[in-house]
Structure 1
Amino acid sequence: MQALGQGFFIGFHLGDDAGRFFHEHSTALLEQLAKVCDNTKRIGLGEKTWLGIGFAPSTLYGVLPELIRHLRSGEPLELELGLSEMTTLQTLKAGRIDIGFGRIRIDDPAIIQTVLTEDRLVAALPAGHPLLAGPISLRQLAKEPFVLYPGNPRPSYADHVIALFESYGVSIQVAQWTNELQTAIGLVGAGIGVTLVPASVQLLHRDDIGFTPLLEDNATSPIILSRRVGDVTPGLNHCLKMIDELLPR
């Protein structure tokens, strides 16, 4: 029986399954801790720059993956990236992230927002659904049970979708709420309902779902960059310059 901190004990014999499990996982944790300590030291000495990036999952089908690849290249600035799925106003203002990629407009004097692009929205439907013969209207789609995401936190992309339908005088009947885009797609494939996704999500190739365009020209969703007013850190400036270079002219 070996003590691991006050009040916590684990018992194992060298060579047994418990011992191997403990050894493998504790070794991995110690290696990760050593890496964190090394990066912290380098950031403190100015040899490396920390940049926290928050993102809504649906933005991973746009410019964000390419941006992350460029930022990780180490040229001309070596960055330590902290990636956080889902970004909120509170995490940005508290400094836990430096830049956020989302789809919701924020009215806050402490935050600067820039619309990077407007994604066309398309309907995702179960394979074989008659509306896949499209294009279709939002009024047609509103008659179908809906899988809506994310349920939390709010406001979110879900509120954007609800408002889009309401602008045409119709409302949707939500059959299922979920927090993840991938889960929503899976539920559509299972026949639970339909959903709206950015057109870039069509890069997913699945046999159980299909996509069809919408007739309405304003059926779009923005990708919005959010950052704090007055933030001029080297990491953020480098990131903004890289975004400017990557966006189509």
Structure 2
Amino acid sequence: MELRHLAAFVAVAEELHFGRAAARLHMAQSPLSRQIRLLERDVGAVLFERNTRAVGLTSAGAALLELARRVLTEAAVARRAVGAAGRGEVGRISIGFAGASSYRAIPVLTHAVTSRLPGIELALRGQLYSSEALARILDGELDLGFVALPARDGVATRVVHIEPLMVALPDAHPLAGAPDIALADLSAERFVTFPSARGSAVRDATMRACYHAGFTPSITQETPDTYNLLTLVAAEVGIAIVVGSARSITMEHVVFRPIRDEVPAMDIALAWRAGQVSPALRAVLEIAESVLPTPAD
């Protein structure tokens, strides 16, 4: 039993006229009649009563009509679903992120994807630092991640944000009123930062910047996210080096100051597994390119 035979049957059953049904299907009447005969042979029953003046459904034809409509509807739904999947309009994309750099980008991207591609399900996985996110991308556990460059072999990236590094310190700190801060002036300070074992790019940048300023920072406490980090700063547990986006977090008794030293900014990028782009991921990347464009040089 073929779908085209069922479509021919439904057209004749609804029109009760072979000529009108043939016109509706954009075909000649003779092939239409042949399809009806083939369907009758398949089901083993006569479906239409025919005479020179009228066409009517037999009891077998009446029994088949609703079933045929249902099959054709489900087939059309299946075709649309397969087509939508092929175009990347349906699917599930997992996105890893951590830190203040992604706090503004994530809502922008998710809103754009859900409004333009409602068939795409986004699975957001927070507190995935750059090294963790890159490892999961390469392992196929994660489709997309916000990471700090450089990345790894096998990972494709596109820069979406450039983050300057700043010093976060309590508003009662002696340097809080300075327009900017030299890192060497922080050599005797206690620092709070992100965990060392999880591959935080901000922590790595902190250690490098302090090393180039001539000292190794004294880490008094570690914490997994930016909000907790700034809470510790406000509580005068220590100071911190953070990305510029951390200023978007409202926290009383914390001030942010530029670093006077020539400290490289951090390139924040979207990362995905090179050569493993599904239609759904490609569609999300296209939306990301429009709402999170690469910063101008």
TM-score bracket, shorter-length normalisation: 0.7 to 0.9
TM-score w.r.t. the length of structure 1 is: 0.74
1:1-249 paired onto structure 2 within 5 Å: 46=85, 48-73=90-115, 75-76=116-117, 78-85=119-126, 86=128, 87-108=132-153, 110-134=154-178, 135-154=180-199, 156-246=201-291, 247=293, 248-249=295-296
Bigger CA drift: 116-125 or 61-70?
61-70
RCO higher in 1 or 2 (8 Å CA, sep ≥ 6)? 1
Q: SS of the counterpart of 1:169?
A: coil
Q: Structure 1: how far apart are the matches of 2:144 and 2:104?
A: 16
Q: Is the 8 A contact 1:115 1:225 kept in 2?
A: yes
Q: SS of the counterpart of 1:123?
A: strand
Q: CA deviation at 1:155?
A: 5.5
The residue type equivalent to 1:173 in the other structure is S
Aligned residues: percent identity? 26
Q: SS of the counterpart of 2:166?
A: strand
- Greater Rg by CA: 2
Structure with the higher fraction of residues in strand conformation: 1
Q: SS of the counterpart of 1:175?
A: strand
Q: Structure 2: how far apart are the matches of 1:217 and 1:155?
A: 21
Q: CA deviation at 1:120?
A: 1.1
The residue type equivalent to 1:133 in the other structure is G
The residue type equivalent to 1:55 in the other structure is F
TM-score w.r.t. the length of structure 2 is: 0.63
Q: CA deviation at 1:151?
A: 3.4
The residue type equivalent to 2:113 in the other structure is L
Unaligned segments of structure 2, at least 5 residues = 1-80
Q: CA deviation at 1:121?
A: 1.5
Q: CA deviation at 1:115?
A: 2.8
Q: CA deviation at 1:184?
A: 1.1
Q: CA deviation at 1:183?
A: 1.4
The Cα RMSD (Å) is: 2.4
Q: Is the 8 A contact 1:123 1:212 kept in 2?
A: yes
Question: Aligned residues, how many?
Answer: 206
After superposition, the C-alpha distances for 1:44-98 in whole angstroms (9 at most, x for unaligned) are x94721111111233233433211211121x146310011111433311222211
Q: CA deviation at 1:228?
A: 0.6
Q: Is the 8 A contact 1:105 1:113 kept in 2?
A: no
After superposition, the C-alpha distances for 1:115-163 in whole angstroms (9 at most, x for unaligned) are 3222111111112212112211111233311001133313643112211
